[in-house]
């Protein structure tokens, strides 16, 4: 792999953002907002939806004094739920299993609705990511949905995202980068912006181990819980810039050749110029304003990396999380991702080239 020099001159990657045509895959849809009489269909399969299923069961049990749990349902964390499932008494475990069943039925309903759309009609495999997947409760929910769909005769695989959910949203940015980056650099900066958290880190490409980026990994990252801090939009952007500069500095000190590129994942519908059309309502402040451009703001805070002008490419956060699984999806032609977190992120893809034959499932 060649080493970049100070005299290397390459045009900074600046978009188009939210592009359907990426180097190795076509994004056939993302940020779908299907409605029914109850509102957005995706809301039936968010983290909050699982809490509602569990809370409804607890209310029924509480009428007869049989609720085995204490405190507010929304304050019961993933680790506590996993502990109740694995080590709790029979009543506690059964209650969690009941919530898993209710949530799985809701997620199966959402998938059926998506499958009616042209962009999802040919999907052969769905990768499930997001923070909810990072638990035994989440894994069992995914497995239960797969069984429900199979018993209905749907030839559809459901698999948990292979990378840790916190890392998948960063690793996927490597698949947004222009090809010249892989000739001269061994790492890049990436950002994953969510409804509760912002994560910035360095993705180590490790192309010598796997040219298809299947061995790419997060070298180091920082997580900021912006939902707790309740910052203004400008304060959030300033904090993000500081996180990026520190991550890049540490990587360069460690000897990594960091590309002059930042991959940026953000909720919502991403316009080619880097504006956010809609879907960013959970972020601090107004990120959809016509007077605000996230790409320009990030580039202004990190104008250069390694003496080269910084390029920034932004896409929807679910799209990028799904891209982290692209090397493992080469045996199918059409696939999709669902990210279960504050909301339900979604994207669907069509691979370039002929699939090699199903190997996962």
C-alpha closest to that of 13 among 203, 330, 261, 239: 261
Instruction: For residue 64, give every residue at least 6 positions away whose Cβ sits within 8 Å of its Cβ, in sequence order, or none.
Output: none
Look at the alpha carbons of 69, 70, 73, 78 in this order and tell me if their dihedral is positive or negative.
Answer: negative
C-alpha closest to that of 95 among 132, 135, 56: 56
Q: What is the rounded distance in angstroms from the CA atom of residue 136 to the CA atom of residue 196?
A: 21
Residue 8 is predicted with a pLDDT of 39
Q: What are 162-185's pLDDT values in tens digits?
A: 998 889 999 999 999 988 899 999
In which band, very low, low, confident or very high, does the pLDDT at 317 lie, cut at 50, 70 and 90?
very high
Torsion of CA 179, 183, 188, 192, to 10 degrees: 20
Whether the CB-CB separation of 159 and 128 falls below 8 Å is answered with yes
Q: What are 235-245's pLDDT values in tens digits?
A: 999 999 999 99
Q: What is the rounded distance in angstroms from the CA atom of residue 106 to the CA atom of residue 100?
A: 10
Pick the most confident of 130-139, 213-222, 279-288. 213-222
Q: What are 78-112's pLDDT values in tens digits?
A: 999 999 999 999 999 999 999 999 999 999 999 99
Identify the CATH number of the domain defined by range 13-36+122-355.
Answer: 3.30.420.40
Question: Bridge partners of 223?
Answer: 199
CA triple 275-326-112, angle to 5 deg = 80
Q: What is the mean pLDDT of the chain?
A: 90
Q: What are the domain boundaries of the chain?
A: 13-36+122-355
Residue 227 is predicted with a pLDDT of 81
pTM tops 0.85, yes or no? yes
Residue 357 is predicted with a pLDDT of 62
In which band, very low, low, confident or very high, does the pLDDT at 12 lie, cut at 50, 70 and 90?
low
Residue 150's Cα: distance from chain center in Å?
25
The per-type count for the chain, helices as H runs and strands as E runs, is 11, 14
Has residue 284 got a pLDDT over 50?
yes
């Amino acid at each position: 792999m060649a080493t970049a020099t100070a005299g290397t001159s390459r045009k900074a990657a600046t978009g188009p953002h939210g592009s359907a045509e990426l180097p190795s895959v076509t994004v056939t849809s993302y940020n779908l907002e299907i409605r029914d009489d109850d509102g957005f269909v995706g809301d039936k399969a968010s983290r909050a939806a699982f809490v509602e299923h569990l809370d409804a069961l607890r209310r029924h049990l509480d009428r007869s004094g049989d609720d085995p749990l204490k405190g507010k349902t929304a304050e019961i964390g993933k680790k506590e739920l996993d502990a109740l499932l694995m080590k709790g008494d029979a009543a506690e475990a059964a209650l969690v299993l009941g919530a898993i069943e209710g949530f799985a039925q809701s997620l199966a309903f959402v998938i059926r609705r998506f499958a009616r759309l042209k962009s999802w009609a040919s999907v052969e495999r769905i990768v499930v990511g997001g923070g909810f997947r990072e638990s035994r409760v989440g894994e069992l929910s995914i497995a239960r949905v797969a069984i429900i769909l199979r018993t209905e005769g749907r030839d559809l695989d459901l698999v948990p995202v292979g990378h840790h959910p916190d890392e998948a949203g960063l690793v996927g940015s490597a698949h947004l980068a222009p090809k010249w980056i892989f000739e001269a650099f061994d790492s890049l900066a990436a950002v994953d912006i969510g409804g509760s958290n912002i994560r910035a880190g360095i993705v180590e490409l490790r192309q010598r181990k796997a040219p298809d980026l299947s061995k790419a990994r997060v070298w180091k990252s920082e997580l900021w819980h912006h939902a707790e801090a309740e910052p203004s939009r400008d304060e959030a952007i300033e904090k993000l810039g500081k996180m990026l500069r520190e991550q890049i500095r540490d990587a360069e000190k460690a000897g990594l050749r960091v590309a002059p590129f930042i991959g940026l994942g953000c909720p919502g519908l991403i316009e080619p110029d880097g504006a956010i059309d809609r879907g960013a309502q959970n972020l601090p402040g107004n990120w959809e304003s016509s007077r605000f451009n996230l790409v320009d703001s990030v580039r202004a805070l990190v104008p250069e990396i390694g003496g080269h002008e910084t390029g920034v490419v932004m896409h929807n956060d679910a799209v990028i999380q799904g891209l982290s699984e692209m090397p493992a999806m080469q045996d199918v032609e059409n696939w999709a991702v669902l990210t279960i977190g504050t909301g339900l992120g979604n994207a669907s893809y069509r691979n370039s080239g002929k699939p090699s034959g199903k190997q996962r499932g």
